[in-house]
Amino acid sequence: MSAVSTAQAQFGLGSRLAALSRIVELGPGRVEPALLTEAAQLLLRAGDRLKLSPEHTVVALAGGTGSGKSSLFNAVSGLELSPIGVRRPTTARTHACVWGLDGAAPLLDWLQIQWRHRFARASALDRGEGRLHGLILLDLPDHDSIRALTDPEAHRLIQVADLVVWVLDPQKYADASVHRRYVAELTGHDDVTVFVLNQADRLTPEEQAECVADLEDLLRREGVAHPRVVATSATTGKGIDGLKAVLADSVAARRAAYQRLEADLDRLMARLAKEMPEVLHVEPTVDGARRAGLTDALCDAVGVSALGEAMENVYGVRSVDWVGWPYARWAARLRPDPLSSLRLGGVKDDIRTLVGSSVSAQPAEVDNAVQALGDGLSAGMPEVWQNGVREAARSRSPELSGALSKELAEVAPPLDRVPGWWWLLKIWQYLLVVMFVAGLAWAGSILAYGVFKAGRPPAEILGDVAVLPWVGLMMVSVLGLGLLSAVASRNFVVLGAGKERDRLERDMRRRVGAVAQDMVVTPVERELNRYNEFFGAMAAARR
Amino acid sequence: MKSAARKTPDHKPARKSGDAVTEEPAIEEQPETPGEQTITFRPIQDGDPAPDPAGSGDDSASVDGDDGGTSQSRSAPNGSAADVVAEAGDGDVPEAGPGDAAASGGDRGGGDAGNGADTPAAEETAPAAESETAASSGDDAAGDAAAQAGDGDEGGTGRDGDDEGGTDATGIESAGIESAENETAGNETAGNETAGNETAGDESAGNESAGNESAGNDGGAPAGQTGGSTGRVREMPLPDPVSEALTRALDQLRVAVKGLHFGLDVPGSDEARKAQAAVLAQIDDYVIPRVHMSTAPALIVVAGSTGAGKSTLVNTLAAQKVTATGVRRPTTSVPVLACHPDDRDWFAKGDLLGGLNRLDEPADGAGTDSVVVVPTPRLPQGVALLDTPDIDSVVEAHHDSAHRMLDAADLWVFVTTASRYADAPSWGLLRRAKERGARLVIVLSRVPSRSRDVIVKHFGRMLDEYGMGEVERFVVNETSVRDGRLPEIEITELRMWLAELSVDDERRTAAVQATLNGVLNSFRSRLPALARHLETQVALRADLRSDVDAAYMGALAEIDEATRNGSLLRGEVLARWQDFAGSGDLMRTLQLRRGSKGSHQGPERVRALKASLRAGLESVITSAAQRAAEEVVARWRQRAGAGDRLAATPGLGRPSEEVMRRTSRTITSWQDHVTELIRTEGVTKRSVAKIISFDVESLSLIFTVGLLGYGTADVSVGSGTSALPQRLLRGLLGAESLRSISAKARSDLRARIGLLFDEETLRYVDALDSAGIPDEAAATRLYQATYNLEVAR
């Protein structure tokens, strides 16, 4: 295990894999599901492989039918372990030969090699083969015969082996089944891939050279930067030592497993990056201007300013009933009413109750406001992420308009509210009216008793003609006082309504802002963080 | 192919296609109805590539001589040959014995033909030509033609010898073809055929005496053909009428196939496009030239895996280094055609593989769209070898090239090796050969001599299991290759086979016909498959279209609901309305007519209410349009392939840029319209009008508020059975008038929004159209053309 950790530290594979797992966590809904599955499989495989014996290197002999995989396997192992034959296809099950069996069993279990196809090279028998200690050589079935169409075993093992040796022969080395399906995918796998041109004995030396050169060209064209090509002949034994040397290098380095995983990771990341090019780093928080914009838009949806105006106007109108000059009201009532002449008198009551109904937010405008925020923030992002931001912004919009309405109801005074001082003023006005009436009565009695001598006045003051001008003066001043106080209180009402309106708008903005923060901005910021984290992980996994 | 082959009733079931020919035998002996249309041979043969008939005529003449009588008279370039057949005589009928008609009749016919061909034939050419014109109409409906042919055959008494003969010939043609298909079915067919031929002979006997000999020939020839490979040689162009009907059917088919357009990327559309190109190439490269001139030398295409030794084999057979060999894989990239020098003209100029450039020698940079034609005297006449690129190397252009060559082949030689015979691509090729019904020969090459038996047996067993056990096989041992050639001893068998094929015209023709029939048969399944794919595209397009409609219909319904249930009257609109009503403007709207001119107060409140109503409506529409756009994209994404691709078109996921502007224009004009409605139609009740005048502008706003459902939703209105605006308006305008105005205003709003959404929808339709509009009629045309082709055969 210590080897694993040092290796991880050495190659940074661990942190890259951690970043990949972060991608897998954050990816669903944003990344092609097939790619995510592949990433998850790679994680799983990496986890398994890194846990299992780091002392062993799994080398797979892969190739088409008839290229001589089994012959090569036998030649390398020096034993007739895998049956060879002329019938095609020959090998149907994978055979494994292990140099140094200690700790290899779990690995072989993981590779799903059947017990009866496992062979061990006892080290005692090995003469000078100690350098191959730690090698697990697999003889795969072919991948290109009609049998292989239904048997994924070769494909599976090619994917998991630490080092793949492609066994080609002069007849088949350019087959599409190898190149299209595997080699073209091998970009970056140079260190963990070896090509063997087997059956070299069938060629003259010149032909062999031409063949190898052609193969190398072909491989380079397909993106294998430094192809390692070894010409061998399993039948004559030529080149087998060269192959063994190549294998021994890899086995001794004990690095093939990591290199393979790294190469796989590189390839996966390249594909991920292709699908999801990083566009830009976004601010993880919603800036003040956007917030203000959102609040404004939501306030409009609730109709805060309209409500303020309505309040101001309606108060002004309604206050007339309370603090207005009663005489003017009475005079107005004398005017003919068009509605009553249409027998629509009830409408007035309706209008009166109308202003009592509460205001609520309009859902469509709320939607649009939230939409605008999402669009503004996600501009320039890849489309899936744009959708993600939009979804996040909308995540709570069904409740949003309800919440806004509730806030509004708490803050906004009902339009039919009647403040206490209106009562006082109304009493004052009626008091003045009473005084006026009293003055009128007084003046009348003075006229009756004092001027026309209708009788003896009950009190002298009631008949004193000299008081009459004073009474008249008093009546006029009472009227004037009523008028003045009506005008003044009207002004107070308007002033108060204006203040009330300011307070309402301020309060409302604050509350709308809080609701928006809670129900829109927070989810959006979470999504933006996810975006940044995802691309951070992408960058980390790409090394 | 002009022979009077007919089938006995027994044979009927074997024929599937609705050829009327089948019916003929049943009605035999009945007199022909003169009214039936008749088909005569046309002198069109002249129109056919002149060299062919001539050349083939020569060849065949000699061949015939050897074999015994085949009706070689046909090979005469002009129509006379056809005539001869048609006139074919009374004499033949007796000659053709029921069973042995083919052989004996043929012989005599051959002799006769030699004598009589020129004279009578020439005479009758004229009538034939006349009747052709009449017949040509009939040709189109190939079924008819066949039916007529049947009739003609039956009646020995027919008057127009030419005509009947012609019809016979057509019928026979199809019979011949069919029977060729049935070859494998067995010998009975042959027997039947022969019987048919006799009857044909009978009928034609009714005609003029001049052509007896040729009639005999006719009888014999089809028997030979149909009887399978054992028959004799017939090396001549198809009879004109048939050829013409077939050609026309093929042309029609070609146009129909070409007319297919697979615009949408659904699963399988790439394959369909490929299949379309393959069918088209095959019709051009092979079927049409082959139908025009069945006498052309047979093209043997050597195909197989890379490194299997195709080029080596061709070189060895040609005894000359005609094509490059080597250890590099893939070796051959430009197809090389090796043929006898006499055949060179046909291949160098012919229509076969017409789409390819002809080269005299391999040139650098020559792509897979060229073919090198190399004459070599060592190859026998009448057969040509085509060395193809591989079918499985890393260069994929080679696969396409090889498959194209195979599509034009009369015979397939499939080369595989001891180490390759289990490869999946090889078996893919075998499957293709099986599907196409192509004549196939397998060469198992590079077999190590020590394990030869094991391998040959194993391979044989695999072939047996695959149902191809009876295919002819050759084995070539692994030996050293010198100068790109194998030792002669290795290919002796193969060379003999080739020589036989060259000499035995009949066998060759049979093979050629078998392959041609196989190809035509394969059209039965390949073309409908194309048409079906087109239909799925059409269906998909309809689905995508309906997705768009459904999404926008949904949006429209949503808006309808929102403008009806009062949910619009919230927020600012409601506040403005309260302001308007509560501040007394509502009352001021109504003024007593007499006297008071009351200053028009607070127009700003009216304007604010109007603006807020407009904004509210706009936001409802915008939000619905947004949702609809998202829904369309979501729905499209769920559709396979094409939908996904189309959904990615930028901008489709959100409403168009102009939607805001258009919406506000729409709403403004609607508001104006409502005002206008109130002004013109709001015929105030007279009783009211006397007392009150009102401000139209304000009243239209009150009306709008009522229309949008004020008081129906959560906006409580206190008491009252109906909401304030309604009551007020009803009082002012009268219930009747109010209802009609409401209906009008609402339907007008819906129409305007519908128009707006139509414009939005257009974007999706454009996106769909940009992917190509599948033509629904194309599938029908293709079905029709396929059917016509069947009938023409």
Q: Which of A52-56, B76-80, B354-358 has the lowest mean pLDDT?
A: B76-80
pLDDT tops 60 at residue B96: no
**Is A176–B427 a contact, with Cβ atoms under 8 angstroms apart?**
no
Chain B CB contacts of A235 under 8 Å are: none
Through-space distance between the first and last CA atoms of chain A, rounded to whole angstroms = 24
Average pLDDT, chain B: 69
**pLDDT score of B118:** 41
Q: Which of A178-187, B351-360, B719-728 has the lowest mean pLDDT?
A: B719-728
In whole angstroms, give the CA distance from residue A400 to residue B411: 76
pLDDT tens by residue, B399-415: 888 888 888 888 899 99
Are the beta carbons of A498 and A312 closer than 8 angstroms? yes
Q: Which of A298-307, A335-344, B296-305 has the lowest mean pLDDT?
A: A335-344
| pLDDT higher at A516 or B193 | A516
**Is B329–A147 a contact, with Cβ atoms under 8 angstroms apart?**
no
CA of A75 vs chain B CAs: smallest distance (Å): 19
Confidence grade of residue B4 (pLDDT, cut at 50, 70, 90): very low
B691 touches chain A (CB under 8 A): yes
Chain B CB contacts of A309 under 8 Å are: 575, 579, 608
pLDDT tops 80 at residue A170: yes
- Give every strand in the sheet of A229-231, ordered side by side: A118-121, A95-99, A135-139, A57-63, A163-168, A193-197, A229-231
Residue A222 in tokens: 């397909």
In whole angstroms, give the CA distance from residue B309 to residue B494: 14
Beta bridge partners of A175: B393
**pLDDT score of B22:** 38
Are the beta carbons of A77 and A119 closer than 8 angstroms? yes
Where do the domains of chain B lie? 296-503, 563-730
In whole angstroms, give the CA distance from residue A183 to residue A190: 10
Where do the domains of chain A lie? 1-52+262-276, 55-253, 288-541
Are the beta carbons of B241 and B139 closer than 8 angstroms? yes
The mean pLDDT of B352-380, rounded to a whole number, is 80
Confidence grade of residue A393 (pLDDT, cut at 50, 70, 90): confident
| pLDDT higher at B481 or A140 | A140
**pLDDT score of B10:** 43
pLDDT tops 50 at residue B32: no
Q: What is the ipTM of this complex?
A: 0.76
Q: Which of B359-363, B459-463, B709-713 has the lowest mean pLDDT?
A: B709-713
**pLDDT score of A356:** 58
**Is B571–A362 a contact, with Cβ atoms under 8 angstroms apart?**
yes
pLDDT tops 80 at residue B294: no
CA of B417 vs chain A CAs: smallest distance (Å): 9
Best of A204, A313, A320 to disrupt the B interface (most B CBs within 10 Å) is A313
In whole angstroms, give the CA distance from residue B205 to residue B212: 7
pLDDT tops 70 at residue B372: yes
B657 touches chain A (CB under 8 A): no
pLDDT tops 50 at residue A254: yes
**Is B424–A149 a contact, with Cβ atoms under 8 angstroms apart?**
yes
**Is B623–A364 a contact, with Cβ atoms under 8 angstroms apart?**
yes
**pLDDT score of B197:** 40
In whole angstroms, give the CA distance from residue B232 to residue B239: 18
Give the fold, CATH level 3, of A55-253.
Answer: Rossmann fold (3.40.50)
| pLDDT higher at A165 or B21 | A165
**Is A318–B393 a contact, with Cβ atoms under 8 angstroms apart?**
no
**pLDDT score of A4:** 47
pLDDT tens by residue, B335-365: 888 888 888 888 887 677 777 888 877 776 6
Are the beta carbons of B192 and B7 closer than 8 angstroms? yes
Q: In this complex, which of A214, A341, A354 lies closest to B582 when CB atoms are compared?
A: A354
pTM, to two decimals: 0.68
**Is A339–B717 a contact, with Cβ atoms under 8 angstroms apart?**
no
In chain B, the residue whose alpha carbon lies closest to the alpha carbon of A181 is B394
The mean pLDDT of B36-45, rounded to a whole number, is 39
Per-residue HEC secondary structure of A198-256 comes to CCHHHCCHHHHHHHHHHHHHHHHHCCCCCCCEEECCCCCCCCHHHHHHHHHHHHHHCCH
The mean pLDDT of A260-287, rounded to a whole number, is 81
Q: Which of A517-531, B239-253, B454-468 has the lowest mean pLDDT?
A: B239-253
**pLDDT score of B37:** 41
Residue B115 in tokens: 């004598």
What separation in angstroms does the CA of A459 have from each of A34, A169, A445, A470, A475? 110, 144, 10, 17, 20
User: In a 10 Å sphere around its CB, with 0-12 CB exposed, 13-18 middle and 19+ buried, how is residue B421 labelled?
Assistant: buried
User: In a 10 Å sphere around its CB, with 0-12 CB exposed, 13-18 middle and 19+ buried, how is residue B586 labelled?
Assistant: buried
B2 touches chain A (CB under 8 A): no
pLDDT tens by residue, A208-234: 898 999 999 988 888 888 888 999 988
**pLDDT score of B111:** 39
Q: In this complex, which of B396, B418, B718 lies closest to A176 when CB atoms are compared?
A: B396
pLDDT tops 50 at residue B483: yes
Are the beta carbons of B68 and B107 closer than 8 angstroms? yes
**Is A364–B619 a contact, with Cβ atoms under 8 angstroms apart?**
yes
Candidates B642, B616, B631; CA nearest to B760 is: B631
Q: Which of A452-466, B188-202, B653-667 has the lowest mean pLDDT?
A: B188-202
**Is A314–B393 a contact, with Cβ atoms under 8 angstroms apart?**
no
Confidence grade of residue B166 (pLDDT, cut at 50, 70, 90): very low
φ, ψ of residue A517 to 5 degrees: the values are -55, -45
Candidates A314, A321, A352; CA nearest to A422 is: A321
Candidates A332, A355, A344, A309; CA nearest to B694 is: A344
Are the beta carbons of B506 and B232 closer than 8 angstroms? yes
Q: Which of A53-67, A78-92, A123-137, B76-90 has the lowest mean pLDDT?
A: B76-90
Q: In this complex, which of B399, B419, B623 lies closest to A88 when CB atoms are compared?
A: B419
What are the counts of helices (DSSP H) followed by strands (DSSP E) for chain B?
A: 30, 10
Side-chain half-sphere of B91: how many Cα atoms within 13 Å?
19
pLDDT tops 60 at residue A160: yes
pLDDT tens by residue, B253-274: 888 888 888 877 777 788 888 8
Residue % of chain A over a pLDDT of 90: 6
**pLDDT score of B308:** 85
Best of B390, B579, B627 to disrupt the A interface (most A CBs within 10 Å) is B579
What separation in angstroms does the CA of B367 have from each of B333, B336, B357, B364? 7, 12, 9, 9
Q: Which of A63-72, B198-207, B744-753 has the lowest mean pLDDT?
A: B198-207
Chain B CB contacts of A344 under 8 Å are: 727-728, 731
**Is B423–A65 a contact, with Cβ atoms under 8 angstroms apart?**
yes
In whole angstroms, give the CA distance from residue B628 to residue B610: 27
**pLDDT score of B102:** 38
**pLDDT score of B712:** 53
Chain B CB contacts of A339 under 8 Å are: 587, 590
Residue B263 in tokens: 């615009």
B50 touches chain A (CB under 8 A): no
CA of B381 vs chain A CAs: smallest distance (Å): 33
Paired sense of beta strands A57-63 and A163-168, if any: parallel
Are the beta carbons of A159 and A192 closer than 8 angstroms? no
**Is A66–B616 a contact, with Cβ atoms under 8 angstroms apart?**
no
Q: Which of A250-259, A453-462, B11-20, B500-509 has the lowest mean pLDDT?
A: B11-20
| pLDDT higher at A429 or A344 | A429
Are the beta carbons of B717 and B723 closer than 8 angstroms? yes
**Is B718–A365 a contact, with Cβ atoms under 8 angstroms apart?**
no
Q: Which of A61-75, B328-342, B393-407, B562-576 has the lowest mean pLDDT?
A: B562-576
pLDDT tops 80 at residue B757: yes
* DSSP type of residue A189: -
**pLDDT score of B553:** 92
In whole angstroms, give the CA distance from residue B252 to residue B774: 19
Are the beta carbons of B216 and B109 closer than 8 angstroms? yes
Q: In this complex, which of A86, A173, A303 lies closest to B451 when CB atoms are compared?
A: A86
Candidates B647, B634, B628; CA nearest to B754 is: B628
**Is A306–B586 a contact, with Cβ atoms under 8 angstroms apart?**
no
B35 touches chain A (CB under 8 A): no
**pLDDT score of B20:** 39
CA of A124 vs chain B CAs: smallest distance (Å): 37
Residue % of chain B over a pLDDT of 70: 63
Are the beta carbons of B91 and B216 closer than 8 angstroms? yes
**Is B654–A317 a contact, with Cβ atoms under 8 angstroms apart?**
no
CATH of B296-503, one of 3.40.50.620, 3.40.1080.10, 3.40.50.300, 3.90.180.10: 3.40.50.300
**pLDDT score of B584:** 72
**pLDDT score of B751:** 92
Chain B CB contacts of A65 under 8 Å are: 419-420, 422-423
DSSP string for residues in A38-71: HHHHHHHHHHHHHHS-TT-EEEEEEE-TTS-HHH
Q: Which of B140-149, B282-291, B330-339, B556-565 has the lowest mean pLDDT?
A: B140-149
The mean pLDDT of A299-309, rounded to a whole number, is 82
In whole angstroms, give the CA distance from residue A136 to residue A257: 12
